[in-house]
Amino acid sequence: MGARDPIDGEPVFVTARSPFAAPIRAPIHAPIGDQFRAAIRQGLYASLLALVCALAAVVLPAQPASAQSGGSGGQAAQADGGDTAPEPLTLEEVLRRTEQAAQEIGSGLLSDDRLSYWRQRLPQLRQRAAAIEAAAKAEVESTQRLLDALGPAPEDGREPRPVAMERDRLQQQLNAQQARLKQAQLAIARADELLNQVQAATRQRFTNRLLVRGPSPLSPDTWVRASEQLTGSLARLYSVIATSEQLKRERADWNNIAGGALAIVLVGLGVAFLLRRVLLRRFGRKPQAEPPPTLVRLTGALLHTLFYLLVPGLAMGALYAYLETVGLMQGLLDELALNTALAVAFAFLIDGLARAVTAPEAADWRVLPVSDPCAVRVGRIARIGAIVFGADILLVRMGRVLHAGEAIAVVHHLLFGLTVSVLLLALTRRDIWQPPELDGVTDEARQVRRRKARTWAAMGVLALSASVLGSVLLGYFELSRYIITRTILTGVLIGLLLLLHAVAREGISAIFRMTRLRSTGRRQEDSTTPILQFWIGAGVDMLVVALGVLLALPLWGVEWNDLWALLLGALMGFQVGGVTISLLDLAFAIALFVVVLSITRVIQRTLDTRVLPQTRLDIGVRESLRTFTGYVGLILAGLVALSTAGLNLSNLAIVAGALSVGIGFGLQAIVNNFVSGLILLFERPIKVGDWVVIGAHQGYIKRIRVRSTEIETFDMSSVIVPNSDFISQSIINWTHTNRVCRVIVPVHVAHGTDTQQVHDLLLQVAREHPQVLRMPEAHVLFMSFGESALHFELRVFARDTDYFLSLASELRFAIDQKFREAGIVIPYPQRDLHIRTGTMEHGRARGDRPETSIPEPGTTPASGGPDGD
């Protein structure tokens, strides 16, 4: 008997009847103890059978949909003429079946099954016609090339007979192939037109089903008819149960059945409780010092829900298997038992999920960020909702089985809509969104956000309630149920997608955290890591949104076939003006670009870490080879991607022409720097690691890019210099050919010092330093006789430019030490000042000044002067 969807009543699985469906009869004269022991034994056997069946249901794969759907599949096979051969259809068969579809669709008498069949079959016929069209087009092109190879026929008609016969044969073959091509194109066009008609008819029937108008609950007659229909349905149920043959049993049989059922329930509950306790102890949510991550909490909530369902599920499953074994589950009783079990299971599922998510007893494992009292309130509302939805499932399904009338359906939908509206409004209470116990610890901004969220949620609930209740009051009870069930399912879908998004985000963060932990020994973290993490997260967000749209559209009436046809059309290509854009080709081109670029990066990394270090090339040559490899890989990746996307590379000439105009107007600097960068890489006047001086800047070449070069100064700052400056200006490269540099240390000594001793001491200092080269050897120059000192220079050659400043400083320290030991003085600057005193009368010439006496050393000159100053 087919079970239906818990909310909408659609078929979702098929239950096969047990082959052991035979009544168990015990002798009437058997003792009661023996009968009870037999019932217990039968109950144990049934429990074991139920466990085996449950394991088989979990382990064995589900049967294909075609094997489960017997009605429409069989009709479809009959309509197809019993053709189940795997070989592809011919063009004639495609034309015949499209003609058959046109006749059936044009009649307007198609059933829902046939309409669904053609919705699935027509895209297959179109796909086969498209394959035939592609093959025919290739044949036409091949034959046309052969005809072109023969050349045009001579105008005078004089042509060799073999050539003329071959030309006629090829022309006839071309005509037949062109006719076949036209027929395939006709089949494609007809299949597209018929598919559009089928889709329009399906949408129209769906709309008509939703907009069917029944009695309004505002009319008193509706309530009267509802009570009559309810009484009649209960009477039919009682009549069927009372007249059921499988219930006509002896008292001893009922004693056996009751004992077996009791044993089944007790054994099932005992096994379930024991298994649940073991699983909770092994995989349950345990107290922790810190709140577990989101993924761990979600896993714990899922396991807690499954463990919660274990007890009722195992008990009901074992009881149903036992009752089916003794032959009670037949006909209406089977429907009643299945619907009851499904309703109870659904109610326990909602209740268990609410308990797992809110976790009132384990706040650290709570998925929802709410307080403890709020978790209790949400759990209570969810528990009531579980009971309401379970009752709704049972009533709706049994109403369809008992063929209850429209009046009772209208009343049921009205009461169901009111109850769900009240429950949803209860979820918007202030004490849930802003609990009183958190008023003192929550900041004002968070309270404002919660108030806004609560307002929007309340408005959404009110709009949903108004639409549902309004539809019921107007008589559109199918529309009301459709709105409320689809809205609830959409909300559940959004919640699951948010959980999936949180898990994916946390997984990405965990991966990058492990990557950063592994790279803690490096000098600094790669700057591209946060950017890569951001773009991967953005891609995950887009995938989650796309998945949500693809799953939400079928909930609201968009058929999977229509959605798949739309996606397939977008992937295969669609016309925009005169250009065909194929998302599949674009995705493939992007994938190839990424693959080629990744291969280039791998080659660069291999050259940088394994190949080039084994050579004697310096670091500049290595960096140039690495950069050149990157440029070549980037160009190849771009060309491969453009050709894969369908762009004709000959059209790049037009793009190059347009770029040349742009270069003439404003891109000279960019192109100049780009070409200069290429010149720097090939000519190599500078390379990575060189110590250069350009203008007012000096430092080490850090990186040579396409447009500019980065110089790291001795202050650890970066200077970005355009590449053209290195070509057009003079630069000093201290390490162009080698890293040997000359260091000059000026030395001043006092007059009267032994110059030969100074010469020897300076050479001794140079020879004793380990960073001074022996060849070229150091030498001392006597530069000049200064006013205050004798000027010398110590000139040495350092092994590496890295020691330029440190070597000069160390040599000065050593020279100072040697001079102190030898008693050589490094003098201060000396100046002789001659002070003349006297007076000058106003207007007196310089030559008329009176002579003044210069005081003797050690005496004090007279104050004032000739002028009385």
* Mean pLDDT, the chain, integer: 75
Are the C-beta atoms of 493 and 500 separated by less than 8 Å? no
Of 461, 437, 696, 526, which is closest to residue 711 (Cα–Cα)?
696
pLDDT value at position 577?
Answer: 55
Is residue 320 very low, low, confident or very high in pLDDT (cuts 50, 70, 90)?
confident
Amino acid at 318: A
Are the C-beta atoms of 646 and 585 separated by less than 8 Å? yes
Place of tokens 């500078």: 686
Is 110 strand, coil or helix? Answer: coil
Q: How far does the chain reach from its first CA to its final CA, in angstroms?
A: 134
Question: Each residue of 475-499: pLDDT tens digit?
Answer: 888 888 888 888 888 887 887 788 7
Question: Each residue of 257-269: pLDDT tens digit?
Answer: 777 778 877 887 7
> How far is Cα 499 from Cα 373, in angstroms, rounded to an integer?
23
Of 584, 572, 600, which is closest to residue 644 (Cα–Cα)?
584
Tokens matching residue 199 = 């889709």
pLDDT value at position 42?
Answer: 46
Is residue 442 very low, low, confident or very high in pLDDT (cuts 50, 70, 90)?
low
Question: Each residue of 158-182: pLDDT tens digit?
Answer: 788 888 888 889 899 999 999 999 9
Question: Each residue of 39-85: pLDDT tens digit?
Answer: 444 444 444 444 444 434 433 333 333 333 333 344 444 444 444 44
Give the pTM: 0.55
CA distances from 600 to 604, 617, 633, 637, 687 (A): 6, 21, 5, 9, 22
pLDDT value at position 289?
Answer: 62
Question: Each residue of 87-111: pLDDT tens digit?
Answer: 788 888 989 998 998 888 888 777 8
Q: How many helices, marked H, and strands, marked E, lie in the chain?
A: 24, 12
pLDDT value at position 295?
Answer: 67
Question: Each residue of 525-575: pLDDT tens digit?
Answer: 455 667 777 888 888 888 888 888 888 888 887 777 666 766 766 666 665
Of 87, 92, 91, 194, which is closest to residue 565 (Cα–Cα)?
194
CA distances from 272 to 43, 58, 259, 307, 359 (A): 15, 17, 19, 9, 21
Tokens matching residue 416 = 């169901």
> How far is Cα 256 from Cα 38, in angstroms, rounded to an integer?
8
In percent, how much of the chain has pLDDT > 70? 75
Answer with the residue of higher pLDDT: 372 or 845. Answer: 372
Are the C-beta atoms of 212 and 478 separated by less than 8 Å? yes
Answer with the residue of higher pLDDT: 553 or 765. Answer: 765
Is residue 664 very low, low, confident or very high in pLDDT (cuts 50, 70, 90)?
low
In percent, how much of the chain has pLDDT > 90? 8
Are the C-beta atoms of 355 and 379 separated by less than 8 Å? yes
Q: Is the peptide bond before 770 cis (omega within 30 degrees of 0)?
A: no
Amino acid at 302: L
How is the chain split among helix, strand and coil, in percent rounded to 5?
A: 65, 5, 25
